[in-house]
Chains A and B, each alone.
Chain A
């Protein structure tokens, strides 16, 4: 959570306080409006990306957002965003839900409420082949991370001596690993796996098995919207039970994908 971001949130909270824009029940408002507005990524495959042929937003997060709208029985409006803007979008009332690969953290939980996790992962290091195996070997290295992500925070906490360089997206971070500006880059395991699988020079790099931190991805809901949060949790559990959650995972992380990985979590009631 960056410096500017905290100021922005403070400003928005102030404005909301002044205008008294808080609603009693957002779920009722969504049903009344007939539209569910979800903040999703447009540049973060496979969670959210623009499809090359249809030019529509697709991805793991988008499939979940569609399922929420279907089950609530309303239309879905996708609001594309980036890591730094997703919480302000929710707090300023421009969206109803954040379904944008957002990791549950205590700091973020002060500003938004989180659903039960619908994706569990960890952050790994991508390094040039022949680099040290242990993460501790990078305690004083220059390490690339993506701006506004938990990986950036985890690095600063675990390796205060390391020089953390923040990039706007993963391709930029990889580019700086290629040209030697950083000795490692960190991001969620499957994003790095996908990146590596697509790279023409993949033999020159490898993923370290050790995890920097465990990441649980949840749906972000505005604070104290208990009815909406309960509905989201109920839908998530039902998607797990009827197998849809598994199908969505299979579509984006299964055998047919660029970077297949096993599903070693289940969505459970909070």
Chain B
């Protein structure tokens, strides 16, 4: 059986941006938006938690590690499920489905980012910290102006790996019918029924392009 990619061409607009014309984000565009917002949220949360763990090495760090352990011990798909069904049950609904998945992804990734950033801070020589304090900086200023800029730069390759995973993990949103790339592709596949190879090869290529673009951007940032 030869491959016939006309099905992808015919449905390309739907695969790329879903029902955008009707005011509903979807397709590749929704995948990108979910990945970017979950990435930004998890970066913010992860760095904040790493700073807390770095500054308060006693009980707060232990609690944060336990928290990260709990998240890492549960499959992401469960977290997505819980937020989708339990949040509305507890708080009476209201949050859009895509947002509940973004929160799940951000929550999940923040644990990995916290560990990364903490390791990055600890990897810097102690003399950096001591020199800062000796020059009259407060602890927070040392962190803000000396340690974090160096640590974050070193961590770019690790972040690229985490964000590439994040981009691919957005596809788990299909389990709760959020119309991101994988979901719209499976809708098209279910309607046409005859071209699963063509459809899923094409969306795999789209994910690959997305992750490659991320790597390129990261490389240009670290070369700057």
Contact = CB atoms under 8 A, between A and B. Distances in A.
Nearest to A49: B191
Contact of A170 (B19, B85, B193): B193
Interface string B160-198: 000000000000000111010000101111110110100
Interface range on chain A: under 10, 10 to 19, 20 to 34, or 35 or more? 35 or more
Interface string A192-223: 00010011110000000000000000000000
B191 A94 contact: no
B186 A169 contact: yes
B11 interface: yes
A94 B96 CA distance: 11
B22 A55 contact: yes
B186 A15 contact: no
Given A80-B177, A94-B93, A43 B86 contact: no
Contact of A93 (B18, B89, B187, B190): B89
Nearest to B11: A52
Interface string A159-201: 0000000001111101100000000000000000001001111
Which of B22, B90, B189, B191 is most buried by chain A, counting CB atoms within 10 A of its CB?
A: B191
DSSP class of B's interface residues: helix, strand, loop or mixed?
A: helix
Contacts of A21: 89, 92
B196 A93 contact: no
A88 interface: yes
A50 B14 CA distance: 10
A54 B14 CA distance: 10
A117 to B, nearest CB: 24
A55 B89 contact: no
Contacts of A89: 85
Interface residues of B, number: 30
B181 to A, nearest CB: 14
A172 B186 CA distance: 10
A31 B90 CA distance: 23
Contact of A8 (B19, B81, B187): B81
Nearest to B184: A50
Interface string B22-65: 10000000000000000000000000000000000000000000
A19 B89 contact: yes
A16 B191 contact: no
A142 to B, nearest CB: 20
Contacts of B120: none
30 contacts: A12-B89, A15-B90, A43-B186, A43-B189, A44-B190, A45-B190, A50-B14, A50-B188, A52-B10, A55-B14, A56-B22, A80-B177, A82-B175, A85-B175, A85-B176, A92-B85, A92-B86, A92-B88, A92-B89, A93-B88, A93-B92, A94-B85, A169-B190, A170-B193, A171-B196, A172-B196, A195-B193, A198-B194, A200-B1, A201-B1
Interface of B: 1, 10-11, 14, 18-19, 21-22, 81, 85-86, 88-90, 92-93, 175-177, 179, 184, 186-191, 193-194, 196
Interface of A: 8, 11-12, 15-16, 19, 21, 42-45, 49-50, 52, 55-56, 79-82, 85, 88-89, 92-94, 168-172, 174-175, 195, 198-201
